[in-house]
Chains A and B, each alone.
Chain A
Amino acid sequence: MTAEILLHTRGLKKYFPIKKGLLRRVAAQLRAVDGVEIIVRQGETVGLVGESGCGKTTLGRNILRVQKPTAGDILFRTKDGKQIDLAKLEGNALRAIRPQIQMIFQDPQSSLNPRMSVMDIVSEPLIANRLARGDELTDRVRSLIDRVGLQAKHLNRYPHAFSGGQRQRIGIARALITNPSLVVADEPVSALDVSIRAQVLNLLNDLQQDFGLTYLFISHDLSVIQHIADRVIVMYLGKVVEEATTDDLFARPMHPYTEALLLSIPKPDPRQRTDEVVLSGEMPSPINPPSGCAFHPRCKYATQKCGTETPPLREVAMGRRAACHYSETLELRGV
């Protein structure tokens, strides 16, 4: 039985106008997110991968309505079963919905206000939304702090007293205090030491089971994504280029960019060293994307058609989508 759809974005676009000249006229548009449709179902972990400039972070921020999309819908299923369009909400209506969608940040240094104690930081979402007060508030914060692996004595300390891993736990507690249904995790372990990453990933896993959370996990680290995600969405230059279950994607990608990404990962095995060329060239600018398929200038398999016709994102196999003219015929290598 497939779970309910929790989040569905349709044709989501976010363009940043580039102003030039004395009168600040709009010279061009930076297409950070250029028509993205994704579906996230209740209880799953969807991994969103891509490199700098692909738009994954901007997509995350638009879903959270930290930014307002230029176009498109963000359909979200609230806890009382209604479907609303986040893209159209403003002001108080938007604030009312916020407790249900929360975020975990990448940088443990800058995501906690250094002037607030742990208690203040974790209780803020409850106070700002008037969800709890007094003893009830303290109890909720205490039990959640305990659940993320910290102690009561940490509550009146300040962020500078904690290590990166601990700060990230505080950030996780802050994200979960309002019992959200969807959590957008923006590179939550990238800034942590290798030995701490495992701790935090395990914690996120456990919390998902305990609280029935749904994760949109943004990362550039494919090993982490393979470990934690159920489904993976690959982005390139503002568009989705491939989407599949984790097992399928890693075993046999169906887009040349995904193949290049997988082959670029350095394997922690010195016996597997290779000399072949995986990917050349630089990521093009989102202001002036190439014609046709955005990846064609760097693609090993590109043909004439790739430069003139933009391949649509379509179903290329059971439960898999890819934006490539040749997905079915190319025999791409996985890991």
Chain B
Amino acid sequence: MNITRLLRRQQPAKISNAPAALPIDDMAVERYYIASQRELIWRKFRKHKVAVISGVLLIVLYLSAIFADFIAPYDVSARTNFRYAQAQLLVFVSAGYVGPHVYGYKQVNDPKTLRTINEIDSSKIYPIQFFVHGSEYCLLGLFPTDIHLFGATGNKATIFLFGTDELGRDLFSRIFLALRVSMFIGLIGVALSFIIGVVLGGISGYFGGVADILIQRLIDLILSIPTIPLWLALSAALPPYWPSTTVFFGITLILSLIGWCGIARIVRGKFLELREEDYVTAAIVAGASNRRIIFRHLVPAFASYLIVQLTLSIPQVILGETALSFLGLGIRAPSVSLGTLLEDAQNIRVVALYPWLLIPGIFLFLIVLAFNFVGDGLRDSVDPYKQ
């Protein structure tokens, strides 16, 4: 039995040190002194090149997701006759035309397999123009318009930058529209987990007692059930007649139901640890109410830590949704997510013949990697003991 921990023995603390190494000139010194904890964290974060680049990439992707309708040249379910067409790569200079353009297709019959293949025909040149008219949509859900960022001009012009799928639908457009679902499901799912987790974890950690025991056992129960089968069961239980947006929220809810457990445990742990800090005792002695202590002292203390956790949890939710959709139990048509796009690439024949169908996987990979780098960078910046 460790008496030390029980009694909080006041052993003489180590001699405290003078402030850490200081910048040289006076203005810099003053900036360092006035800098709040948040600013110091930001400065440290800025030094992590990889994390910063990843952060920028994520911001670009999220903006693309928001403006997906604008960026995508085609509608999500627009079918064409160009099935399984190869990617029309961007070219800048070729005989007869200078400027951004793509080559068109010619349809040939493959003698061996008797299929129609869309081959790239460099004689057909479709120049690319910006801000063209295309299918109608609502920008940001509010402004009806039909302007798209770019499009190909010319008779029967097509611009499939990533090729097409089995039904002739432009993969590029579908990917960007899928980003919207995949990336925001990550954010919303984690936000829900966060709210539930902080509230329950906070009650557990701050008040203790019976509430603590009950909540902890509930978490144990939920975590003891294998995750993917649980998700599958819950999502299979969603009524088939629900519209796809409602399904979207249903899936989000399901994913966050598991996620809150991890956050609750972390929050509880942090509360238990921080409760013993001297400055919290000082606040009690000063006469602060419970509410003030929680919101003014405890929450800010672990907020940065929590943000790190959230950043690292988002890819898990995204992958969870991808897994569900990949298995056919997630987002339903006509909505698309990276998972549903990958569903099309499930069999080996398809992947061997039409490898561009795996491009959604590359996007997924980049997103997950970027979140992990940002999360790592944040964690290193927030850790007070790392030099």
Direct contact of A and B (CB under 8 A): yes
Complex Cα distance A115/B39, Å?
Answer: 11
* Complex contacts, A162 vs chain B, CB 8 Å: 19
Which chain A positions have C-beta within 8 A of B6?
Answer: 16, 18, 30
> In this assembly, does B27 line the interface, its C-beta being within 8 Å of a C-beta of chain A?
no
Q: From A190, which residue of chain B is reached at the shortest CB distance?
A: B12
Interface assignment of A191: CB less than 8 Å from any CB of chain B:
yes
Closest A residue to B17 by beta carbon equals: A164
Which single member of B1, B8, B14, B278 contacts A105 (CB below 8 Å)? B278
Interface hit among A122-130, A209-217, A304-312: A122-130
B279: interface (CB < 8 Å):
yes
Given the complex of chains A and B, what is the CA–CA distance between A157 and B3 in angstroms?
A: 38
Is the CB of B11 closer than 8 A to any CB of chain A?
yes
User: Is B34 interfacial (CB 8 A cutoff)?
Assistant: yes
A113→B12 CA distance, assembly (Å): 20
CB of B142 closer than 8 Å to a CB of A: no
Interface string of B151-170 (1 = CB under 8 A from A): 00000000000000000000
A223 CB within 8 Å of chain B: no
Q: Are B285 and A98 neighbours in the complex by a CB distance under 8 Å? A: yes
The stretch from B92-100, B118-126, B286-294, B337-345 touching chain A is: B286-294
User: Could you tell me if B16 and A167 are in contact, using CB atoms closer than 8 angstroms?
Assistant: yes
Find chain B residues with CB under 8 A from A178 CB: 286
Residue of A nearest to B292 (CB): A128
Residue tally, chain A, CB below 8 Å to B: 56
Report the minimum CB–CB distance from A287 to chain B (whole Å). 7
Q: Does A117 contact B (CB under 8 A)?
A: yes
Chain B residues, CB < 8 A from A101 = 285
**Chain B residues whose C-beta falls within 8 Å of the C-beta of A164 in the assembled complex:** 15-18
Are B287's CB and A125's CB within 8 A? yes
Smallest CB gap from A161: residue in B: B33
Does A193 touch B at the CB level, under 8 Å? yes
Q: Are A124 and B12 in contact (CB under 8 A)?
A: no
Is A109 a contact partner of B16 (Cβ separation < 8 A)?
Answer: yes
Query: Which residues of chain A are near B40, meaning CB under 8 Å?
Result: 160
Q: Assess whether A220 is interfacial by the CB under 8 Å rule.
A: yes
Q: Are A113 and B13 in touch, CB under 8 angstroms? A: no
User: Nearest chain-A residue to B15 (Cβ)?
Assistant: A193
Q: Is B351 part of the binding interface, using a Cβ–Cβ cutoff of 8 Å?
A: no
A58 near B7 with CB under 8 A, answer yes
How far is B288's CA from A91's CA once the two chains are assembled, in angstroms?
11
Assign chain B's interface to a size class.
35 or more
Answer whether residue A202 sits at the interface, using C-beta atoms and an 8 A cutoff: no
- Name the A residues within 8 Å of B281 (CB-CB): 61, 66, 103, 105
Is A45 an interface position by the 8 A CB rule?
no
Residues of B contacting A109 in the complex (Cβ-Cβ under 8 angstroms):
13, 16
Contact of A106 with B by CB under 8 A: yes
A287:B1 contact, CB within 8 angstroms = yes
A268 to chain B, nearest CB (A): 18
- CB nearest neighbor in B for A193: B15
Could you tell me if A129 and B287 are in contact, using CB atoms closer than 8 angstroms?
yes
> Do A158 and B36 touch (CB < 8 A)?
yes
Does B282 lie at the interface of the complex (its beta carbon under 8 Å from any beta carbon of A)? yes
Q: State whether A191 touches B16 (Cβ < 8 A).
A: yes
For window 304-325 of B, CB contacts with A under 8 Å fall at none
Assess the A95–B287 pair: CB atoms within 8 A.
yes
B 55-86 binary contact with A (CB < 8 Å = 1; else 0): 00000000000000000000000000000000
Interface residues of A in 63-111 (CB under 8 A from B): 64, 66, 95, 98-99, 101-103, 105-111
Q: Contacts of B37 on A, CB cut-off 8 Å?
A: 114-115, 158
Write out the residue numbers on chain A whose beta carbons fall within 8 Å of the beta carbon of B14: 191
Using CB atoms, name the residue of chain A closest to B36: A158
Contact present for B285 and A66 (CB under 8 Å): yes
Main SS of the interface on chain A? loop
Residues from chain A with Cβ under 8 Å of B301 in the complex: 113, 115
Within 8 A of B (CB), among A129-173: 129, 156-158, 160-164, 167, 171
Residues of B within 8 A of A103 (CB): 281-282, 285
| Contact A105:B7 (CB < 8 A) given known A161-B32, A192-B15, A287-B1 | no
- The complex places the Cα of A228 from the Cα of B318 at a distance, in Å, of 64
Interface string of A165-187 (1 = CB under 8 A from B): 00100010010001000000011
Question: A125-B286, A164-B16 are known contacts. Are A156 and B34 too (CB-CB below 8 A)?
Answer: yes
Q: Assess whether B10 is interfacial by the CB under 8 Å rule.
A: yes
A199: Cβ under 8 A from any B Cβ: no
**Which of the residues B9, B18, B285, B292 comes within 8 Å of A64, measured between beta carbons?**
B285
A53 at the interface (CB under 8 A from B): yes
Instruction: Looking at the assembled complex, report how far the CB atom of B212 sits from the nearest CB atom of chain A, in whole angstroms.
Output: 13
| Given A18-B6, A156-B34: A128 touches B283 (CB 8 Å cut-off) | yes
- Whether, in the assembled complex, A46 has its beta carbon less than 8 Å from a beta carbon of chain B, the answer is no
Instruction: Report B64 CB to chain A, min CB distance, Å.
Output: 35
Q: Is the CB of B7 within 8 A of A95?
A: no
A56 to B13, CA, bound (A): 16
A52 at the interface (CB under 8 A from B): yes
Give the distance in Å from the alpha carbon of A289 to the alpha carbon of B228 in the complex.
Answer: 55
Query: Is B110's CB within 8 Å of the partner chain A?
Result: no
| Residue in B13, B14, B17, B33 with the greatest tally of chain A CB atoms within 10 Å | B13
Q: Does B208 contact A (CB under 8 A)?
A: no
Are the CB atoms of A124 and B286 closer together than 8 Å? Answer: yes
CB distance from A53 to the nearest CB of B (A): 6
Q: Is A291 an interface residue (CB 8 A)?
A: no
- In the docked arrangement, what's the CA distance between A191 and B14, Å? 6
Do A53 and B19 touch across chains, with their CB atoms under 8 A apart? Answer: no
Give chain A nearest CB distance to B368 CB in angstroms. Answer: 31
For the complex formed, measure the closest distance between the CB of B13 and the CB atoms of chain A, giving whole angstroms: 4
Q: Apart from A30-B7, A109-B13, what 19 extra A-B contacts exist at CB < 8 Å?
A: A53-B9, A57-B9, A61-B281, A66-B284, A66-B285, A95-B289, A98-B285, A98-B286, A98-B287, A110-B279, A111-B278, A113-B283, A117-B36, A124-B283, A128-B292, A161-B34, A186-B10, A285-B3, A286-B3
22 contacts between A and B (CB under 8 A): A16-B6, A16-B7, A30-B6, A30-B7, A53-B9, A57-B9, A98-B287, A102-B285, A102-B286, A110-B278, A112-B279, A124-B283, A129-B287, A157-B33, A161-B34, A163-B17, A163-B18, A174-B282, A191-B14, A220-B12, A285-B3, A286-B7
Residues of chain A touching chain B, judged by Cβ–Cβ distance below 8 Å, are 16, 18, 30, 32, 52-53, 56-58, 61, 64, 66, 95, 98-99, 101-103, 105-115, 117, 124-125, 128-129, 156-158, 160-164, 167, 171, 174, 178, 186-187, 190-193, 220, 285-287
Top 6 A-B pairs, shortest CB-CB distance: A164-B16, A161-B33, A98-B287, A125-B286, A191-B13, A111-B278
